[in-house]
Amino acid sequence: MSQKTMRDAINEALHQAMEQDESVFVIGEDVAGCQGSAGEVGSVGGVFGVTTGIYNRWPDRCIDTPISESAIVGAAAGAALVGMRPVAEIMFADFIGVCMDQIVNQMAKFRYMFGGKSRCPAVIRFSAGGGFSAAGQHSQAMYQVMTSFPGIKVVVPSNAYDAKGLLLSAIADDDPVLFFEPKVLYQEACEVPDEMYTIPFGEAAFVREGDDVTVVAFGQMVPKAAAAIDELAAEGISCDLIDPRTTSPLDENAILESVEATGRLVVVDEAPPRCGLTADIAGLAADRAFASLKGPIKQVCAPHSPTPFSPELEAAYLPDIPKIKAAIKATMA
C-alpha cells in the first residue's frame, strides 16, 4: 500500500492484468509511441502517460495504431469477439464522435443480437471531462451519453483506488466496458494497494455519510462534492455522498435507500443537463422514492452549452464547490 496517482494506479492495473493473462493487450495511438522514428519506441506511453512501460515488457501486446479511431475500436471489438481481452485507448472521450458506430452499433449489440452466444470482453479507455481549457472538442464527459445505450458497461472512477479496482474488473468482464478517466484527476493520489483487487460493478461508494441530504456525484465532481459537504458540516448540515462509480450498471438501491433516509437529493455532474445523469437520477428518485422526498430535487450540472475555451468561461461552466453548497442548502430551505 502506498500513495499513487490515478495515472499510476491505472498503469499498475494494466501491468498486472497483462502479467496475469496473455490474452490482455493494449492498443491505441501512441500507447507505445515513437514507432518508425529515431526515438526509442515505448518512450511515450500514451499522451497522458497511462500506458508507460507496457511496451518495454510486452512489445507484442502494446500496439500503436495510426490515427484511426473507428479501426481501433473495431479491432478491439473483433479481437474480443474471438477471445482476446483488449484494452484500447481513445485519447479523448470526445473522439467517440469518430468511432461511435463501432461502439454503439457494433460492440454494444453483439451479445444480444447474436442470441447471447457471443462474448465481447473489450475495454475502451478514454480521458474525459473539462478543466483544462481544452474547448469544445477535447473537454466533454461523454459517459452520460454512453450510459443510455444498452449492451455496454460504463465506468467513471473518481479516485486512484477505485480506478485500479474498477479497471481490473473491467478487464475481467466478459462484456464491453467503456472506462472514462477524468483527466483532471490523473495527478490526484490516494492510498492504493500494490496487489490486484477488484471493485464490483453496480456497487456505489459512500464517500461521506450523513442524515440531512443525499448527494450523488460522478467522476471529477466527487471530490468537489466532498469538499462542499465538509464545509457544510461546520454549519451543522450532514450529507450522504454517493459515488455510483459505474453508471451502467447503476446502483439504484444505494441511491434510493439513502434518499428514503434523508428525504432530500442533490445530483452533481459536469455534463450539460438535458438527458444527462442528473436528470436520470432525479427521475429515479421521483419515480421510486417520491413519498420520502421533503422537497424538490436539485441538479447541479453544466449549462446547456458546449465547453468554452476561456478559463473564466470554463470556470463559470463547470459546477464548483459554491454551486454544490448552494444546492444542498436550497434543499434544506
Partner 1 sequence: MSIPTQALSNAYRLMKTIREFEERVNAEIMNGQIPGFTHLYTGQEANAVGVCAHLDTGDTIISTHRGHGHCIAKGAEVSGMMKELFGSSEGLCKGKGGSMHVADIDKGILGANGIVAGGPPISVGSALAAKIRKNGKVAVSFSGDGSVNQGTCFEAMNMAVVLQAPAVFVIENNYYSEHTNISYAVGCDDLKARTEAFGFPVFVADGADFFAVHEAAGKAIAHARAGNGPAGVFAEQGRYHGHFVGDPQHYRGEGELDDLRENHCCLKNFRARMVETGEVGNDVLDAIDAEVMAEIEQAVVDAKAAARPTPEQVTQDVYINYGAGA
Catalytic positions, written as ranges: 138
Interface pick for partner 1 out of 35, 118, 148, 238 (rule CB under 8 A): 35
Name the minimum Å distance from CB 198 to partner 1: 32
Q: What are phi and psi of 181, to 5 degrees?
A: -100, 110
Q: Taking CB under 8 A as the criterion, which residues in 53-112 touch partner 1?
A: 64, 66-71, 94-95, 97-98
Interface pick for partner 1 out of 319, 325, 328, 331 (rule CB under 8 A): 319
Interface pick for partner 1 out of 78, 109, 118, 135 (rule CB under 8 A): 135
Interface pick for partner 1 out of 115, 116, 236, 303 (rule CB under 8 A): 303
Task: Provide the 8-state DSSP code for 60.
Answer: G
By CB under 8 A, tell whether 327 contacts partner 1. Answer: yes
Backbone region of residue 105 per phi and psi (left: phi > 0; alpha: psi in -120 to 50; beta: other values): alpha
Stretch that binds partner 1, among 133-141, 186-194, 232-240, 250-258 (CB under 8 A): 133-141
In this structure, which amino acid lies at residue 219? G
Work out whether strand 246-248 and strand 153-155 pair parallel, antiparallel, or are unpaired: antiparallel
Q: Rounded to an integer, what distance in angstroms lies between the CA atom of residue 135 and that of residue 214?
A: 32
Interface pick for partner 1 out of 7, 85, 125, 138 (rule CB under 8 A): 138
**CA separation, residue 226 to residues 76, 230, 251 (Å):** 36, 6, 19
- Please check whether residue 158 is in contact with residue 219, taking contact to mean a CB–CB distance below 8 angstroms: yes
**Cis previous bond, 296, omega within 30:** no
Stretch that binds partner 1, among 26-34, 82-90, 213-221, 230-238 (CB under 8 A): 26-34
By CB under 8 A, tell whether 29 contacts partner 1. Answer: yes
Stretch that binds partner 1, among 30-38, 52-60, 193-201, 219-227 (CB under 8 A): 30-38
CA 24 from chain centre, in angstroms, equals 21
Closest CA to 144 of 131, 159, 128: 128
Site string for partner 1, 217-236 (x = CB under 8 A): --------------------
**Interhelix angle for 252-262 vs 277-288, to 10°?**
60
| CB count in 10 Å sphere of residue 135 | 16
Q: Rounded to an integer, what distance in angstroms lies between the CA atom of residue 237 and that of residue 115?
A: 51
By CB under 8 A, tell whether 118 contacts partner 1. Answer: no
Comparing CB distances to partner 1, the nearer of 203 and 320 is 320
Q: What are phi and psi of 97, to 5 degrees?
A: -60, -30
Interface pick for partner 1 out of 113, 194, 305, 322 (rule CB under 8 A): 305
By CB under 8 A, tell whether 194 contacts partner 1. Answer: no
By CB under 8 A, tell whether 296 contacts partner 1. Answer: no
Closest CA to 204 of 324, 122, 284: 284
By CB under 8 A, tell whether 37 contacts partner 1. Answer: yes
Stretch that binds partner 1, among 177-185, 188-196, 200-208, 301-309 (CB under 8 A): 301-309
Site string for partner 1, 251-290 (x = CB under 8 A): ---------------------xx----x------------
* Vertex 281 angle, CA 280 and 282, to 5°: 90
Interface pick for partner 1 out of 3, 20, 39, 275 (rule CB under 8 A): 39
Q: Rounded to an integer, what distance in angstroms lies between the CA atom of residue 236 and that of residue 101?
A: 50
Widest CA span in the chain: 67
Name the minimum Å distance from CB 158 to partner 1: 19
Binding residues for partner 1, rule CB under 8 A, total: 54
In this structure, which amino acid lies at residue 13? A
Residues that bind partner 1 (CB under 8 A): 29-30, 33-40, 43-44, 47, 64, 66-71, 94-95, 97-98, 132-138, 272-273, 278, 298-306, 308-313, 316-317, 319, 323, 327
